[in-house]
Protein backbone atom coordinates (compact mmCIF):
# COMPACT_ATOMS: atom_id res chain seq x y z
CA UNK A 1 0.00 0.00 0.00
CA UNK A 2 2.81 2.38 0.91
CA UNK A 3 4.65 1.49 -2.30
CA UNK A 4 1.53 2.12 -4.39
CA UNK A 5 0.92 5.49 -2.71
CA UNK A 6 4.56 6.44 -3.24
CA UNK A 7 4.39 5.52 -6.91
CA UNK A 8 1.18 7.51 -7.37
CA UNK A 9 2.75 10.53 -5.69
CA UNK A 10 5.75 10.34 -8.03
CA UNK A 11 3.46 10.17 -11.05
CA UNK A 12 1.55 13.25 -9.84
CA UNK A 13 4.78 15.19 -9.29
CA UNK A 14 6.10 14.17 -12.71
CA UNK A 15 2.87 15.12 -14.45
CA UNK A 16 2.69 18.44 -12.63
CA UNK A 17 6.26 19.21 -13.63
CA UNK A 18 5.39 18.45 -17.25
CA UNK A 19 2.32 20.67 -17.11
CA UNK A 20 4.29 23.59 -15.68
CA UNK A 21 7.04 23.06 -18.26
CA UNK A 22 4.69 23.02 -21.25
CA UNK A 23 2.90 26.16 -20.00
CA UNK A 24 6.28 27.85 -19.44
CA UNK A 25 7.44 27.05 -22.97
CA UNK A 26 4.14 28.12 -24.48
CA UNK A 27 4.28 31.40 -22.55
CA UNK A 28 7.85 31.91 -23.70
CA UNK A 29 6.73 31.46 -27.29
CA UNK A 30 3.90 33.97 -26.90
CA UNK A 31 6.18 36.47 -25.18
CA UNK A 32 8.81 36.29 -27.90
CA UNK A 33 6.14 36.70 -30.59
CA UNK A 34 4.68 39.70 -28.76
CA UNK A 35 8.14 41.23 -28.33
CA UNK A 36 9.00 40.69 -31.98
CA UNK A 37 5.75 42.29 -33.15
CA UNK A 38 6.32 45.28 -30.85
CA UNK A 39 9.81 45.91 -32.20
CA UNK A 40 9.17 45.32 -35.90
CA UNK A 41 9.65 48.74 -37.59
CA UNK A 42 6.90 48.17 -40.13
CA UNK A 43 4.31 47.59 -37.41
CA UNK A 44 5.13 50.51 -35.14
CA UNK A 45 2.85 52.92 -36.97
CA UNK A 46 0.02 50.39 -36.63
CA UNK A 47 0.57 49.44 -32.99
CA UNK A 48 1.76 52.75 -31.52
CA UNK A 49 1.10 56.48 -31.66
CA UNK A 50 3.54 59.22 -30.81
CA UNK A 51 3.06 60.60 -27.32
CA UNK A 52 4.66 63.65 -25.72
CA UNK A 53 7.95 61.90 -25.03
CA UNK A 54 7.63 58.36 -26.40
CA UNK A 55 5.52 55.95 -28.41
CA UNK A 56 2.24 54.97 -26.74
CA UNK A 57 0.52 51.61 -27.31
CA UNK A 58 -2.85 51.67 -29.06
CA UNK A 59 -5.70 49.26 -28.41
CA UNK A 60 -4.21 46.99 -31.09
CA UNK A 61 -1.28 46.18 -28.80
CA UNK A 62 -3.60 44.98 -26.07
CA UNK A 63 -5.85 43.07 -28.47
CA UNK A 64 -2.77 41.28 -29.77
CA UNK A 65 -1.42 40.64 -26.29
CA UNK A 66 -4.70 39.15 -25.07
CA UNK A 67 -5.14 36.93 -28.11
CA UNK A 68 -1.55 35.69 -28.35
CA UNK A 69 -1.18 34.96 -24.63
CA UNK A 70 -4.60 33.29 -24.51
CA UNK A 71 -3.69 31.15 -27.52
CA UNK A 72 -0.48 30.09 -25.80
CA UNK A 73 -2.40 29.01 -22.69
CA UNK A 74 -4.95 27.13 -24.81
CA UNK A 75 -2.19 25.28 -26.70
CA UNK A 76 -0.46 24.31 -23.45
CA UNK A 77 -3.78 23.24 -21.93
CA UNK A 78 -4.65 21.05 -24.93
CA UNK A 79 -1.20 19.44 -24.94
CA UNK A 80 -1.42 18.68 -21.20
CA UNK A 81 -4.90 17.19 -21.64
CA UNK A 82 -3.96 15.11 -24.71
CA UNK A 83 -1.00 13.54 -22.90
CA UNK A 84 -3.10 13.03 -19.73
CA UNK A 85 -0.72 15.09 -17.62
CA UNK A 86 -3.63 17.21 -16.47
CA UNK A 87 -6.54 15.51 -14.74
CA UNK A 88 -8.65 18.66 -14.41
CA UNK A 89 -11.98 18.38 -16.24
CA UNK A 90 -13.80 21.74 -16.03
CA UNK A 91 -17.14 22.30 -17.70
CA UNK A 92 -17.31 23.94 -21.13
CA UNK A 93 -18.87 27.03 -19.53
CA UNK A 94 -15.97 27.49 -17.12
CA UNK A 95 -13.45 27.05 -19.91
CA UNK A 96 -15.26 29.57 -22.11
CA UNK A 97 -15.60 32.14 -19.32
CA UNK A 98 -11.91 31.83 -18.44
CA UNK A 99 -10.90 32.16 -22.10
CA UNK A 100 -13.05 35.24 -22.66
CA UNK A 101 -11.65 36.85 -19.53
CA UNK A 102 -8.07 36.13 -20.59
CA UNK A 103 -8.53 37.31 -24.17
CA UNK A 104 -10.70 40.40 -23.66
CA UNK A 105 -9.63 41.90 -20.33
CA UNK A 106 -6.45 43.65 -21.65
CA UNK A 107 -8.32 45.67 -24.28
CA UNK A 108 -11.21 46.32 -21.89
CA UNK A 109 -8.72 47.69 -19.37
CA UNK A 110 -7.27 49.91 -22.08
CA UNK A 111 -10.67 51.23 -23.15
CA UNK A 112 -11.75 51.89 -19.57
CA UNK A 113 -8.51 53.34 -18.16
CA UNK A 114 -5.99 54.13 -20.96
CA UNK A 115 -3.41 53.44 -18.23
CA UNK A 116 -0.90 51.66 -20.45
CA UNK A 117 1.71 51.38 -17.72
CA UNK A 118 -0.68 49.55 -15.38
CA UNK A 119 -2.60 47.24 -17.71
CA UNK A 120 -0.14 44.35 -17.76
CA UNK A 121 0.25 44.44 -13.98
CA UNK A 122 -3.50 44.50 -13.37
CA UNK A 123 -3.96 41.70 -15.89
CA UNK A 124 -1.35 39.42 -14.31
CA UNK A 125 -2.29 40.18 -10.71
CA UNK A 126 -6.09 40.32 -10.96
CA UNK A 127 -7.63 38.95 -14.15
CA UNK A 128 -5.23 36.04 -14.65
CA UNK A 129 -5.77 34.72 -11.08
CA UNK A 130 -9.53 35.18 -11.53
CA UNK A 131 -9.44 33.12 -14.72
CA UNK A 132 -7.40 30.48 -12.91
CA UNK A 133 -10.01 30.26 -10.19
CA UNK A 134 -12.93 30.22 -12.62
CA UNK A 135 -11.61 27.30 -14.66
CA UNK A 136 -10.78 25.26 -11.55
CA UNK A 137 -13.86 26.21 -9.55
CA UNK A 138 -11.76 27.64 -6.72
CA UNK A 139 -13.08 31.17 -6.44
CA UNK A 140 -12.78 31.06 -2.66
CA UNK A 141 -9.02 30.63 -3.16
CA UNK A 142 -8.65 33.78 -5.26
CA UNK A 143 -6.39 35.42 -2.67
CA UNK A 144 -4.05 32.42 -2.84
CA UNK A 145 -3.98 32.63 -6.64
CA UNK A 146 -3.10 36.32 -6.42
CA UNK A 147 -0.32 35.49 -3.96
CA UNK A 148 1.09 32.87 -6.32
CA UNK A 149 1.19 35.38 -9.17
CA UNK A 150 2.75 37.97 -6.88
CA UNK A 151 5.59 35.52 -6.26
CA UNK A 152 5.91 35.06 -10.02
CA UNK A 153 6.12 38.85 -10.35
CA UNK A 154 8.92 38.98 -7.77
CA UNK A 155 10.79 36.25 -9.65
CA UNK A 156 10.40 38.22 -12.89
CA UNK A 157 11.74 41.44 -11.33
CA UNK A 158 14.74 39.64 -9.80
CA UNK A 159 15.68 37.94 -13.06
CA UNK A 160 15.27 41.14 -15.07
CA UNK A 161 17.43 43.02 -12.57
CA UNK A 162 20.17 40.41 -12.95
CA UNK A 163 19.90 40.56 -16.74
CA UNK A 164 20.31 44.35 -16.74
CA UNK A 165 23.10 44.10 -14.18
CA UNK A 166 25.13 41.50 -16.03
CA UNK A 167 24.41 42.25 -19.68
CA UNK A 168 24.05 45.23 -21.98
CA UNK A 169 20.82 44.39 -23.74
CA UNK A 170 19.82 46.28 -26.94
CA UNK A 171 16.37 47.83 -26.91
CA UNK A 172 14.71 45.37 -29.31
CA UNK A 173 16.18 42.38 -27.49
CA UNK A 174 15.24 43.92 -24.14
CA UNK A 175 11.57 44.08 -25.17
CA UNK A 176 11.63 40.44 -26.28
CA UNK A 177 13.39 39.33 -23.09
CA UNK A 178 10.90 41.15 -20.87
CA UNK A 179 7.87 39.87 -22.76
CA UNK A 180 9.23 36.33 -23.02
CA UNK A 181 10.20 36.10 -19.38
CA UNK A 182 7.03 37.67 -17.99
CA UNK A 183 4.64 35.62 -20.11
CA UNK A 184 6.54 32.38 -19.53
CA UNK A 185 6.54 32.82 -15.74
CA UNK A 186 2.87 33.75 -15.52
CA UNK A 187 1.90 30.98 -17.93
CA UNK A 188 3.85 28.55 -15.72
CA UNK A 189 1.95 29.90 -12.71
CA UNK A 190 -1.30 29.24 -14.58
CA UNK A 191 -0.21 25.68 -15.31
CA UNK A 192 0.87 25.12 -11.71
CA UNK A 193 -2.54 26.23 -10.49
CA UNK A 194 -4.38 23.93 -12.92
CA UNK A 195 -2.25 20.94 -11.95
CA UNK A 196 -2.63 21.51 -8.22
CA UNK A 197 -5.14 19.04 -6.79
CA UNK A 198 -5.80 19.83 -3.11
CA UNK A 199 -7.76 16.69 -2.27
CA UNK A 200 -8.28 17.78 1.32
CA UNK A 201 -10.37 20.73 0.11
CA UNK A 202 -12.72 18.42 -1.73
CA UNK A 203 -13.08 20.74 -4.69
CA UNK A 204 -15.14 19.71 -7.69
CA UNK A 205 -13.92 20.20 -11.23
CA UNK A 206 -17.20 19.68 -13.02
In a domain, 55, yes or no: yes
Query: Reduced to 3 DSSP states, what percent helix, strand and coil does the chain have, rounded to the nearest 5?
Result: 80, 5, 15
pLDDT over 90 percentage in the chain: 60
Whether residue 135 lies inside any domain: the answer is yes
27 domain residue, yes or no: yes
Q: What is the pTM of this model?
A: 0.87
- The answer to whether residue 47 is domain-embedded is yes
Instruction: Report the mean per-residue pLDDT for the chain.
Output: 88
Q: How many domains does the chain have?
A: 1
Contact between 31 and 183 under an 8 Å Cβ cutoff? The reply is yes
pLDDT of 72 over the 60 cut? yes
Confidence of residue 195 (pLDDT cuts 50, 70, 90): very high
pLDDT band at residue 189, thresholds of 50, 70 and 90? very high
For the cut 50, the answer to whether the pLDDT of residue 159 exceeds it is yes
Range of the domain at 19: 2-194
What angle, rounded to 10 degrees, do the helices at 171-195 and 59-82 form? 40
Residue 126 falls inside a structural domain: yes
Q: Flag the least confident range among 36-40, 156-160, 164-168.
A: 164-168
> Is residue 168 domain-resident?
yes
Specify if 82 maps to a domain.
Answer: yes
Confidence of residue 203 (pLDDT cuts 50, 70, 90): very low
Amino acid sequence: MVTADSGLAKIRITNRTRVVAVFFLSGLWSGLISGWLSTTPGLRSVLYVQGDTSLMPTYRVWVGFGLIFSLALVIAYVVARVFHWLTLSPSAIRQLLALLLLALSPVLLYVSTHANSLIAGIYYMAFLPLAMCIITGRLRLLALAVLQNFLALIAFLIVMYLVFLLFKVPFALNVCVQAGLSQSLFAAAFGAWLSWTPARLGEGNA
